[in-house]
Amino acid sequence: MLQSKLFIIIISLAVASFASSGELYAQENVLLHPKKFYKKFFPGLRVKRNPPDSLYVKSYPNYLSVGVHVLLPAVDLNVSSRSNKAMSSEHTSKLRTNQADIIGLSVSYRFVTAGFAFLIKPGIQNNYNYAPSHYRTATIKYNSAAYSLQFKYIRWRGFTDINTANSISYDKYVKRPNMVDKEFQFEGIYNFGWKKYSYLAPITFSQRQVKSHAGILLKAGVYYNQLSDDSILVTRQQQPYFDEFDNVKAIRTLSIKLAPGVGGNLVFLRSIYFSVAAFASADLYFYSYLKNPDETTTNRRAIVYVLDGKTSMGYQSKRVYAGLRFEVENRKAALHSIKMNTLYSYIGIELGYRFIAPHIVKKVYKDTMPPGM
């Protein structure tokens, strides 16, 4: 009798567990399956497509754009003292990298762009007498005709101070192989003239500008940056000229940007283009100096002037595109006791092809994105 009762209890618990797991599985289906998610939480949602003016911008909603790019990234970072004891740029840290080229693959379909990149072998690096540099980046983009959203992670490791006045040995340069500059970016761009001007045409190639036009742009973003090293950021030889910067091993900054800009695409023969876009802003910076990673300090504030832009030229047809691209961002920051001038630049080539998207891509996109998008 006891065994039969125990058997009945076990069966009841198993049935209850199976039923509860089935309910949880159904809930997971609602939360994870896009169609059920939109139907339950946004039953009235339906995106109405409003395409750009086809006389100016050609879009390819049924095409999958696949591109290969080769880029040479570079960063020039100068750290100088604001002390009266410092003599002009004599004791400035002029930090440079010897980064090799990177090669990447990008795929665009409708509003989504995905991509990855990897380093070419270090044997192609420039400046062999510099400290070895390493570069990592990851980017996620969501683009529409009017706006784009982007999350980007950038990490540099390995710098060389090319200011020979800072050298304390027989070496010509001061090598900083453990110095790291990393940044997390989340930014969005709104294109006021999206009906006739495509900001995305020379970037994702999911659109094509067929008639010259210009427009007003607005960029907004939040950026977290940290420059750090295992040892102090400036050498012992420099420190007498850097007030209140003794033994600092890291600089952390959090900045907020609202940058107006302009852009335009100049098109020749409906296929050859020249594109440029530029932004200017005065970013609000919150920053702190750290002597060890666990140190808690009070953030200071500063206004940092930033100029950045993109320019490219190339060829676009219905199927094939190719181009040269140059991007640059310059930040000039007057912080407490120091000045920082950072220049990020990318130059490279891109080749790509558009072909009709496979049925599986269309189905996955349709089943994943909101209705009508």
- Express each pLDDT in 96-152 by its tens digit: 988 777 888 888 888 788 777 766 655 445 677 888 888 888 888 888 878 888 888
pLDDT (average), residues 190-208: 89
Determine the Cα–Cα distance for residues 203 and 291; give it in Å rounded to an integer. Answer: 41
* Mean pLDDT score, 169-173: 74
Of 107, 59, 140, 105, which Cα lies nearest the Cα of 361? 107
Q: What pLDDT is stored for residue 99 in this prediction?
A: 75
Q: Which residue has the tokens 């940044």?
A: 183
In the predicted model, is pLDDT for residue 255 greater than 90? Answer: yes
Average pLDDT over residues 194-221: 91
DSSP string, 70-101: EEEEEEEEEEEE-STTS-TTTT-EEEE-----
d(CA 322, CA 50): 28
Distance CA 205, CA 60 (A): 10
CA–CA gap between residue 158 and residue 3 (Å, rounded): 70
Asked whether the beta carbons of 141 and 148 are under 8 A apart, the reply is yes
Q: Predicted confidence band at 10 (pLDDT cuts at 50, 70, 90)?
A: very low
**Is it true that domain 57-368 has CATH number 2.40.128?**
yes
pLDDT tens column, 297-337: 768 899 999 999 999 999 998 889 998 989 999 999 888 88
How much is the pLDDT for 123?
46
Determine the angle formed by the axes of helices 34-41 and 2-32, rounding to 10 degrees.
Answer: 80
Residue 164 per-residue DSSP state: G
Query: 213 or 368: which carries more pLDDT confidence?
Result: 213
SS3 227: strand
Please say whether the beta carbons of 310 and 325 come within 8 A: yes
Q: What is the mean pLDDT of residues 333-359?
A: 88
| Averaged pLDDT, 151-173 | 83
Coil/strand/helix, residue 128:
coil
Report the mean per-residue pLDDT for the chain.
81
**pLDDT at residue 256 is higher than 50:** yes
32-36, 57-61, 111-115, 306-310: range with highest mean pLDDT: 306-310
- What is the average per-residue pLDDT within 185-194? 94
* Residues 8/13/18/21 CA torsion (nearest 10 deg): 170
What's the token pair of residue 241? 């000229």
- Name the residue with tokens 């100068």: 78
- Give 244's contacts (C-beta < 8 A, 6+ positions apart): 336, 337
Count of C-beta atoms within a 10 Å radius of residue 373: 15
- According to the model, what pLDDT value does residue 270 have? 87
Residue-level pLDDT at 121: 58
Residue 243 pLDDT > 70: yes
Pick the closest to residue 373 from 148, 69, 45, 149 (CA basis). 45
**What's the CA gap between 223 and 181, in Å, rounded?**
13
